Amino acid sequence: MADRDLDRSARRRRLVVGGLVVAFAAVLIAIVVVRSAGEKVLNENGDTLVLVDRQTGDGMQALARAPLADVGGCLGLGDPDGGPGTVVIWPHGTTIKTPDPLRVTVDGTTYGIGDTIRIGGGEVGPLEPSSPFYDKVPEACRAANVFVASNG
């Protein structure tokens, strides 16, 4: 009889531990899923940061056409007339290839610094202190105007 009680206790412990492991795994998966849809800074150890927006279903409709450039330490659009350029917050799903030269893949097309890119979106002015990117980028990047690119 005592052996049977020990057997039941061992099974209960295994069930409780197994349940805790499953619950912990579910929480970790939820955190990863939530974070993967958030804003990201890519190439944090490189010279040029790449700002990538969270997943959204909306976007502005302006079309920008300019050479890809380092704008104050962030990847953006150079000004063909020699002006300061515009930082781009790239659409969710944008990826980069490093090391040098830095290349960015947007909507399945890969571009390098100096390549002319056409991308939809809209200009929103400089980064606001409330932006999730504000504390992660150099001052020169914060001060530049920002173009928020849209998917597609």
More reliable by pLDDT, 14 or 131: 131
User: Confidence class of residue 140 from pLDDT cuts 50, 70 and 90?
Assistant: very high
DSSP for 48-117, written as a single string = SBEEEPPP-S----EEEEEEEEEETTEEEE--TTSS--EEEEEPTT-EEE-SSSPEEEETTEEEETT-EE
Domain ranges across the chain: 1-36, 40-149
Average pLDDT, the chain: 79
Q: Give the pLDDT confidence of 32-91 residue by residue, as tens digits.
A: 333 334 788 888 778 899 999 887 655 667 899 999 999 999 999 999 888 889 999 999
CA angle 83, 126, 50 (to 5 degrees): 80
Q: Structure pTM?
A: 0.71
Distance, first Cα to last Cα, the chain: 69
